Amino acid sequence: GDSVTQMEGPVTLSEEAFLTINCTYTATGYPSLFWYVQYPGEGLQLLLKATKADDKGSNKGFEATYRKETTSFHLEKGSVQVSDSAVYFCALMNSGGSNYKLTFGKGTLLTVNP
Amino acid sequence: SQTIHQWPATLVQPVGSPLSLECTVEGTSNPNLYWYRQAAGRGLQLLFYSVGIGQISSEVPQNLSASRPQDRQFILSSKKLLLSDSGFYLCAWSLGLAAYNEQFFGPGTRLTVL
């Protein structure tokens, strides 16, 4: 079945540091890929998405590129802020088979210190 | 604009007691609706999804059930709670059945079973 693997946290960075959170996936067909963010005590918000190979999703300074050859969708940001502290989830939705559900990774907790 | 509501926000229940969590969506028609659970230290797990009134699909067999009595109302229930039912329950909605349709999440309900 489909699966998403993302780097284990927690990740602790200083403000203005470079961020990478690795995400790889296993899926049949042609999935869409997503990054969701969960701020403390809140639900999930879509951060960015990519629907086909080589697409780059971007939002709020975050970027991720859909790499079909490496089945990856790594999240990056050039300069993190304290307000970026949250849990980040990589997810996929598959267009082949059951296309109703998102398959999530376990989440990566990011803490940014001033 | 569309909004999604969940209540209650937090709930503490004894083992063996019943459960009813409610989710409603405003500003859209015929959404797909989802219930996810986020257990401590684990990722999100899809519990149920619904593509229409009275149509419920279960992803994980357990002592929970879901119902959709109205187009924009989704209810998660249990007759007898277990300790393992503790977690953060998230409701989500989406439009369409394509893989690129993002899901929008509610604020969540934190359930503690004692």
Helix (H, G, I), strand (E, B) or coil at B85: helix
Q: Judge whether A50 and A77 are in contact, CB under 8 Å.
A: no
Select from B25, B35, B38 the residue whose CB has the most chain A CBs within 10 Å, as the one to mutate to test that interface.
B38
Label residue A6 by pLDDT band (50, 70, 90).
very high
Is B105 in Cβ contact with A107 (below 8 Å)?
Answer: no
Q: Provide the β-strand partners of residue B85.
A: none
Give contacts of B 19-38 with A, CB under 8 A.
32, 34
Sign of the C-alpha dihedral, residues A30, A34, A4, B56? Answer: negative
pLDDT over threshold 60, residue A98 = no
Alpha-carbon gap: B96 to the closest alpha carbon of chain A (Å)? 9
CB contact set of B85 (below 8 Å; sequence gap of 6+):
B19, B63, B64, B78, B111, B113
CB atoms near residue B84 (< 10 Å): 11
pLDDT digits (tens, 9 = 90+) for A9-24: 899 999 999 999 999 9
Q: Is B66 on the interface with A (CB under 8 A)?
A: no
Chain B residues in contact with A105 by the CB 8 A cut-off are: 43
Pick the closest to residue B90 from B74, B104, B107, B103 (CA basis): B107
Residue B102 with chain A: CB contacts under 8 Å: 34, 46, 49
Pick B102's closest partner by Cβ from A43, A46, A104.
A46
pLDDT tens for the 114 residues of chain B, in order: 889 999 999 999 999 999 999 999 999 989 999 999 988 767 788 899 898 999 998 888 678 999 999 999 999 999 999 999 999 999 999 886 665 678 899 999 999 999
Q: Do A89 and B44 touch (CB under 8 A)?
A: yes
